[in-house]
Amino acid sequence: MDITYWNAHEETLDKDALRELQLIRLRQTVGQALKTDFYKRRLNKVGISSGDDIKTLDDIRRIPFTTKDDLREAYPFAMLAIDLHDVIRLHTSSGTTGTPTVIYHSRSDIDNWTDLMARCIISTGVNRGDVFQNMTTYGLFTGGLGFHYGAERIGILVIPASSGKTNRQIMLMRDFGTTVVHATPSYLLHISSHINSGDIKRSDLKLQRAFLGAEPHSEETRKKIEELLGIDAYNSYGLSEMNGPGVAFECVYKNGMHVWEDAFFMEMIDPVSQEVIPDENEGEIVFTTLNRTATPLLRYRTRDLTSVMGGECPCGRKHRRIARIKGRSDDMLIINGVNIFPSQIEDVIMKIPEVGTNYQIVVDKHGALDKLTVKTELYSKIFNGDFSLLSNIKIKLQTMLRDTILVNPSIELHEPGGLPVSEGKAKRVFDNRPKM
């Protein structure tokens, strides 16, 4: 396997060297955070008034967690650690569910983020000569600009297509010989069904790779995309609070995502007890930025659930790897007392070749009971008007789901294209139960 690094030194630092670097950067970050009203108050309360109060990496546990609510309360300026004149960009969350959150970036912040993105892209084997079509939204969402700058830094041709306009996306892919795309998995599934049924055929395209991220997706979804398009797909994880994409990424070996630990200090906690847990136990990821100047964040609770993987990756990178994100601690569904993650349902749907790439999970209240309905489209090449076939597919899906999630769902099959399409992050779960 061909292994290429962007920052060979940083990417292959051994454990001790990495910890040493982390301690230096953690002290600087605490010092930087103390320049904000928010952290000054918080840290002084626990007896930290300078970066030098952090003697070892374990001292990080003296620092209280930061949450999304803290960011909302601090909006717009209470977490800004540098002069506004030195800020060159900001990204905010969409703010559709309340006060938005904002992350500011200095020139060095953008420079470091860009470098991390270049690292991610290169680690999948992309290199000079590749043509990169970026199919996520450009704007306040971090997926567009984050990947754009990283790819430009490597020096590959970037097509800033943004999301949507599926026919134009496919035309651009054909006309400019796109070899690698970045999209949400739900949108790439949608595009792949068009490629398989439209005028422009797979054989007209030079596509080899895709970066998939910004929303949870199962291993089965990756396989489905790889099969439908005949490409390699790599998992890309990040969150706006930690810049955006470029936090963790799969390398050519696709065996978990390397977290760039020289930029982000990672802890795993039990989301209920909030205790730090050992690697390999499943828990919630907590991140501390290690080289950000404008908005340093200390012990930020991501709500994302996963585990740290054991063993070394043959690629030579020593940064720890995390397994695929299982879901968020706040998106687990409890249906008649049974805990279910939407990813378990997605896993089953993607295993059945007769159903397509788009689905919805709907939960309603019927009297005292919860009712789960799974709606999914049929695969475009399957539906031939034979209704006994439909009934067989329904039974198969229902049985496989019941065996996996231990709840018996109703199944609704829709014709191809019958469910709303998402061009960015897909909304899959519709929980219509009255809020307690």
| Contacting residues toward ligand DLL, per CB under 6 A | 136, 142-143, 213-216, 235-240, 244-245, 302, 304, 325, 328
- 360 and 428 in contact (C-beta within 8 Å)? yes
The pair of structure tokens assigned to 340 is 């279910």
> What is the C-alpha separation between 183 and 163, in angstroms, rounded?
8
Closest CB to ligand DLL among 141 and 379? 141
> Using CB atoms, what's the residue nearest to ligand DLL?
213
Q: What is the rounded distance in angstroms from the CA atom of residue 161 to the CA atom of residue 349?
A: 29
In whole angstroms, the minimum distance from the beta carbon of 237 to ligand DLL comes to 4
Query: Rounded to the nearest 5 degrees, what angle is found at the Cα of 262, between the Cα atoms of 261 and 264?
Result: 55
Q: Which is nearer to ligand DLL, 170 or 212 (CB)?
A: 212
CB of 182 to ligand DLL, least distance (A): 7
103 or 355: CB nearest ligand DLL: 103
- Give the nearest distance from C-beta 362 to ligand DLL in angstroms: 21
Instruction: Please state, in angstroms and rounded to a whole number, the distance separating the CA atoms of residues 296 and 333.
Output: 33
- Closest separation between CB of residue 161 and ligand DLL, Å? 14
Cβ nearer to ligand DLL, comparing 169 with 397: 169
Burial class (CB in 10 A: 0-12, 13-18, 19+), 318: middle
Nearer to ligand DLL, 23 or 146 (CB): 146
Measured from the CB atom, the residue of 43 and 214 that comes closer to ligand DLL is 214
Q: How far apart are CA 429 and CA 345, in angstroms?
A: 11
Q: How many CB atoms are located within 10 Å of the residue 173 CB? A: 24
Q: What are phi and psi of 238, to 5 degrees?
A: -175, 175
Q: How far is the CB of 239 from ligand DLL (least distance, A)?
A: 4
The CB-of-162 to ligand DLL minimum distance in angstroms stands at 13
Which residue in this structure is represented by tokens 């080289």? 291
Strand ranges, E, within 57-215: 87-92, 102-106, 131-134, 157-159, 180-183, 209-213
- Cβ 247 to ligand DLL, closest distance in Å? 8
CA 179 remoteness from chain centre: 22
Choose among 356, 362, 323: nearest CA to 342.
362
Instruction: Give the count of alpha carbons within 13 A of 265, CB side only.
Output: 27
Q: How far apart are CA 89 and CA 80, in angstroms?
A: 12
3-state secondary structure of 220: helix
Cα 276 versus chain centre, distance:
22
Shortest Cβ 332–ligand DLL spacing (Å):
13
Distance of closest approach, residue 353 Cβ to ligand DLL, in angstroms: 24
CB-nearer residue toward ligand DLL: 170 or 214: 214
288 forms beta bridges with: 265
Q: How far is the CB of 378 from ligand DLL (least distance, A)?
A: 26
Characterize 217-249 residue by residue with b for buried, 16 or more Cβ atoms within 10 angstroms of its Cβ, and e for exposed.
bbebbbebbbebbebbbbbbbbbbbbbbbbbbb
Distance CA 189, CA 78 (A): 40
| Nearest to ligand DLL of 150, 244 (CB atom) | 244
Residues with Cβ < 8 Å from 311, sequence gap 6 or more?
none
Q: Which is nearer to ligand DLL, 94 or 408 (CB)?
A: 94
Output DSSP code: residue 242: G
Smallest distance from the beta carbon of 32 to ligand DLL, in angstroms? 22
Q: 302 or 307: whose CB is closer to ligand DLL?
A: 302
Minimum CB distance to ligand DLL smaller for 142 or for 192: 142
